[in-house]
Amino acid sequence: MTSTADQLFRPADAVINWARKNSLWPFFFGLSCCFVEEATAWGPRYDIARFGSEVFRGSPRQADVLIVSGTMFKKIAPVALQLYEQMSDPKWVISMGSCSNSGGMYDVYSVVQGSDQILPVDVYIPGCPPRPEAVFEGLMLLQKKIDAGERPARPVLHLPGGSQGGREDFLVDGQTKARDTRGPGYAGIPIRGTAATEPRFAGSRAEVLWTPPAPGLTLSREQEVLAADLAAVFGGDATLVTGQDAPGDMPTFEVAPARIPEVLDHLKRKAPTRFERLEDLTAIDETARKAPAGREATAVYTLTSLSAATMVRLLCPLPSREAALPTATGVWSAANWYEREAAEMFGLRFDGHPDPRRLLTHRDWVGHPLRKDYEGRATNMPAFTREDCARLAPVDAAEILGERAKDGDYLLNFGPHHYATHGIIRFVMALRGERIKAMGIDIGYHHRGVEKIGERQTWHQFIPYTDRVDYLSGIANNLSYVTAVEKLAGIEVPPRAAYARVMLSELFRLSNHLMYFGTFLQDLGMMSPIFYALREREMVLDIIETITGGRLHPSWLRLGGLAADLPEGWKEQVAAFVKIFPGRLKEYHAGVTKNPIVKARTKGVGGITAAQATDRGVTGPNLRAAGVSWDRRKAMPYGAYADFDFDVPTRQNGDCYDRYLVRMDEMRESLRIIEQAAARMPEGRYLSADSRYCLPQKDAALKDIESLIHHFVNVTRGPRLPSGMAYAATEAPRGEQGYFVVSDGGCHAYRMRIRTPGFANVQALPHIIEGLSIADCVAVLASYDYILPDIDR
Amino acid sequence: MPQPLAYVPLDAPFSPWNPGALPLLIYVGIVCGVMAVILFLSGFLTRRRPSPAKQQPYECGIVPTGPGRFRYPVPFFLVAVLFLLFDVETAYIIAYAAAWPDLGLSGYLRMAVFIVILGIGLAYAWSKGALDWDEEEGL
């Protein structure tokens, strides 16, 4: 029954609602992967302007729709709440994607299990990530909600009654919402099959299963010389690991903790093979080993020699998890962040470290998440509430810079929410005028605890998580992971699968570099290129969708091969693209590369020398722009890359312009590889016949009982891998991405370490940016091409 | 060719040819009226709901550090102001150049004096250091 007043104001309500719903202005607020699809919805083909919502606002004051696109991390939640509060009324909230809706696949200590616990959500969009069409569906639902549910005329005219704006209440766990995805009433029963997947699953038949030992390593001549040299210099303090335990991927030495800086320095400067780069530094908690290891933790140092294209690993046994070992920051400044991370994740101490603070987690975080006894699941922790937001509010800018900020400097927060940060990362700048005198970086806003998750997912189950480590490079991520596991277990990949993997990885490189091209120039102030780039990117995604059925996160590689064979029609689509794309590249060059403004903004700006880049562990196109001709695909080929003919583009100055040019050239080379892969695609199996570890091909699983059993066992319990460790790195679009997998002879990893290009690259940013102006800083960030989950994992 | 009809205004006070004060007054009245309506509506239709978060400056979702009022050196400002001066000068010179044949030598001399005075001003500003690019001035 409607009152007379309702009827009286109905026409005015209808007019105001009509105006509002057709000009919703979304806030330019992205948390992770989902935002890529949201931005794609804004681009050509999808064109969100049809709904009157193309004006993505950079400031909360000018926006009225908050699309929470991506994972709501505990560290970013206080910021999201603050931004929501700063939006003007009336306002609405759309929760986009599974992570934002419920935590999604990230049931892990650092993720809020649903943004509705802190924000009032009006519309939920399901999907991981939802396609651009789903964004429109959500937008239309919101329009309907406004149209049907709101009576804004009276509030607008200051009269009592009526209603406007989205809901204002957030949900409270246990009262208005249940984090249990099965709904209420299941308390006491472990959720999401935890009993079967947690590390100590009692009575697992995998325990009594025999697996062949991991493949061993035969040392090359140079490696023998190196081992002899280390033995001669350090005697019993640096011994080569031999026998059954020797990892098969690279020579591994056990080093006494006290002498680690000396050994590192020796390997860097004096050894017969020089190791120029600290590839990775991490630790392993040994307390949950099936057979007691006789120590509580191990620190792991991985080094890469660019001159000899070889690697070496140093293991440092530590008696306890609180043990101290000397810092390596004196040898490699890049060790700084790695040691901070190892310290906060495992509780280790690094004596002499210049800045021993937490890196990824908040200052007031309690516990060391990668310890085996740390609760990994958010659903087993108390629900995150608005009180926690107040407790974990971001620390003050002055605290991040510390003593480097001088009196009279103006401290500016650049991020975590900013157009030009390309994700949630926080740069703190000490400014004198427009000049950046000092820069501090606060990361961890995008920490998804994926290394912890890796310790509870079976070897196959973990593959979808790898897609999301660098969310613009999908299958290229899968490749790093499966390569590492295949190395550990000695799995042979059939040639057809190997070629398809190369082709798909290169397609993702194209997709990534196209996005780079568009966003780089948009940050410099050119609006048009992104529309061209997104147009071509859609062509690439179409091919990927034809082959895999997915867009951003196909999760399409499997141990030993692919999820399915290449479908009919893929070749024609690739051929059409290969024909069109060179012309488009020329178009880009004609419009951009010679543009005097682009040159003025980027040439000679933000340069880094080859020596500095190598020393700081910078990898990928950023390294090659500085003149180092190092590409894993060429230098240490993996998969089928040795079969392909391509060049490694380099430049000399390492400045923004060169970083741009290298990527433009890489697109051309990727296209060459794709063309060759498509032309020479071998016939045959797409999955290895090694059913001990690999899934059987689908047609076989549907036809014979043996394959079906293998399928069942490998999908549910997961294959049991031999114990050991392996590191494999690939040349991902943004640089070298490596997986260090440690197996204790179980169905899941004992330790899953991801060495990402972004972590090392971004650590070098203050070196590049300090001394530049703010405008130049934006050019550097845009040209540098990092991505947040790749830094924070 | 027939003579065009003489223009006979309908109402003398509103004649555009014999401007009086009345049209101006009416014009002012209309402007004030429209402005008053717009200002009133934008004030009245806005529902102000201030909250502590909204009153804070926006800085990427973080509570800002330090005071918002501080000295900020803007070296390009002086250069821009000087440029503006010469921008105006250009406007005069172009107008003068268009009338060059009519103005003759006396016009030339007057223009020269104008330019010399500006030149002296520039020299003075230069000698005072207005063109030095000092990024930390005043800090």
**DSSP states of A230-271:** HHHHHGGGEEE--GGG--SSS-EEEE-GGGHHHHHHHHHHTS
What Cα–Cα distance (Å) separates residue A405 from each residue in A408, A411, A435, A440?
9, 8, 13, 10
For position A171, what pLDDT does the model report? 83
Taking the Cβ of residue B61 and every Cβ of chain A, the question of whether any pair is shorter than 8 Å is answered with yes
Between residues A176 and A110, the one the model is more confident about: A110
The whole-angstrom distance between residue A418's C-alpha and the CA centroid of its chain comes to 19
Whether chain A has a CB inside 8 Å of the CB on B26: the answer is no
| Per-residue model confidence as pLDDT tens digits over A572-596 | 999 999 999 999 999 999 889 988 9
On whether any CB of chain A is under 8 Å from the CB of B70, the answer is yes
In a domain, residue B58? The reply is yes
Number of Cβ within a 10 Å radius of residue A382: 8
* pLDDT of the residue at A495: 93
Chain A CB contacts of B48 below 8 Å: none
Q: Which amino acid is at A35?
A: F
Residue pair A460/A719 in contact (Cβ under 8 Å)? The answer is yes
Identity of the highest mean pLDDT range in A212-221, A336-345, B100-109: A336-345
- Class of residue B123 by CB neighbours under 10 A (exposed 0-12, middle 13-18, buried 19+): exposed
The per-residue DSSP string of A104-139 comes to TT--STTB-S-GGGTS--SEEE-SSSPPHHHHHHHH
For residue A174, count other CB atoms closer than 10 A to its CB.
Answer: 11
- Three-state SS string across chain B, please? CCCCCCCCCCCHHHCCCCCCHHHHHHHHHHHHHHHHHHHHHHHHHCCCCCCHHHHCCCCCCCCCCCCCCCCCCCHHHHHHHHHHHHHHHHHHHHHHHHCHHHHHHHHHHHHHHHHHHHHHHHHHHHHCCCCCCCCCCCC
What is the number of structural domains in chain B?
1
Instruction: Please judge whether B63 and A83 are an interchain contact, meaning their C-beta atoms are less than 8 angstroms apart.
Output: no
Cα–Cα distance for residue pair A721/B58, rounded to 1 Å: 52
Residue B105 lies in a domain: yes
Q: Does the pLDDT at position A307 exceed 50?
A: yes
CA dist A259 and A316 (Å) reads 10
Quick check: A478 pLDDT over 70? yes
B54/A86 touch (CB, cutoff 8 Å), yes or no: yes
- Interchain pair A61, B73: CB under 8 A: no
- The verdict on a CB contact (< 8 Å) between B73 and A433 is yes
CB contact under 8 A, A432 and B66: no
Instruction: Report the pLDDT value the prediction gives residue A708, as an integer from 0 to 100.
Output: 92
Q: What is the pLDDT of residues A713-769, one digit of tens each?
A: 888 888 888 888 999 999 999 999 999 999 988 888 899 999 999 999 999 999 999
Closest residue to B61, CB basis, from A79, A410, A412: A79
Residue A508 near residue A474 (C-beta atoms within 8 A): yes
pLDDT at B7: 66
- At a CB cut-off of 8 Å and minimum separation 6, what does A52 contact? A22, A23, A24
Could you give the C-alpha distances from A658 to A472, A526, A586, A669, A774, in angstroms and in order? 22, 18, 17, 16, 20
B132 to chain A nearest CA, in Å?
15
B135 touches A: beta carbon within 8 Å:
yes
Residue A47: CB atoms within 10 A of its CB come to 14
Rg from Cα positions in chain B: 28
Residue B60 touches partner A, C-beta closer than 8 Å? yes
User: Which residue of A lies nearest to B55 if distances are taken between CA atoms?
Assistant: A86
Residue to substitute from A86, A406, A773, A778, interface B, most B β-carbons within 10 A: A86
**Chain mean pLDDT for chain A:** 88
Beta-bridge partners for A731: A736
Arithmetic mean of pLDDT, A453-457: 88
Does the residue B137 lie in any domain?
Answer: no
Q: Which amino acid is at A211?
A: T
Confirm whether B135 is domain-assigned: no
Residues of A with CB under 8 A from a CB of B: 59-61, 79-80, 82-83, 85-86, 88-89, 155-158, 393-394, 396-398, 408, 410-418, 426, 432-435
| Binding region of A for [4Fe-4S] cluster | 33-34, 99, 128
What is the distance between the alpha carbons of residues A725 and A300, in angstroms, rounded to a whole number? 11
Structure-token pair, residue A654: 């390492």
Give the number of other Cβ atoms within 10 Å of residue A685's Cβ: 18
Confidence (pLDDT) at A538: 92
Residue with the larger pLDDT of the pair B73 and B28: B28
- The least confident of A86-95, A145-154, A744-753, B16-25 is B16-25
Contact B61 A88 (CB under 8 A): no
Contact criterion met (CB < 8 Å) for A413 and B62: yes
Alpha helix segments (H runs only) across A402-528: 450-453, 463-467, 474-489, 495-523
CB contact under 8 A, A434 and B135: yes
CATH code at position B44:
1.20.58
Q: Which residue ranges of A are tagged as binding site?
A: 33-34, 99, 128
Q: Of B56, B62, B136, which has the smallest distance from its Cβ to A432's Cβ?
A: B136
Is B96 among the domain residues?
A: yes
- Among residues A346, A292, A289, which one has the least CA distance to residue A744? A289
Look at residue A195 and tell me whether its pLDDT is greater than 60: no
Q: What is the DSSP letter of A561?
A: E
Which structure tokens are listed for A261?
A: 């800086």
Whether B31 is in a domain gets the answer yes
The model's pLDDT over A261-292, given as tens digits with 9 standing for 90+, comes to: 999 999 998 888 899 999 999 999 988 888 88
Q: Is the pLDDT of residue A709 over 80?
A: yes
pLDDT of residue A1: 45
Cβ of residue B63 closer than 8 Å to a chain A Cβ: yes
Contact A97, A69 (CB under 8 A): yes
**A430: nearest CA partner in chain B:** B65
Query: Distance (Å) from the C-alpha of residue A194 to the closest C-alpha of chain B?
Result: 36
| Residue B50 within a domain | yes
B74: which chain A residues are within 8 Å (Cβ-Cβ)? 433
Write down all domains in chain A, each with its CATH number in brackets: 11-149 (3.40.50.12280), 221-360 (3.30.460.80), 450-792 (1.10.645.10)
Rounded average pLDDT over B30-41:
96
Per the structure block, which two tokens stand in for A493? 């990949």
Most confident segment among A131-145, B7-21, B97-111: A131-145
Contact B65 A398 (CB under 8 A): yes
Q: What pLDDT score was predicted for residue A176?
A: 81
Range of the domain at B75: 22-82+89-127
Residue written as tokens 């200002």?
B39
CB atoms within 10 A of CB A705: 8
Q: Assess B90–A contact: CB distance below 8 Å, yes or no.
A: no
Residue B5 forms part of a structural domain: no
Chain A residue at shortest CA distance from B75: A433
Q: Is B18 part of the contact surface with chain A (CB cutoff 8 Å)?
A: no
Residue A722 is given by DSSP the state P
| Cβ separation B66–A156 shorter than 8 A | no
Average pLDDT, chain B: 83
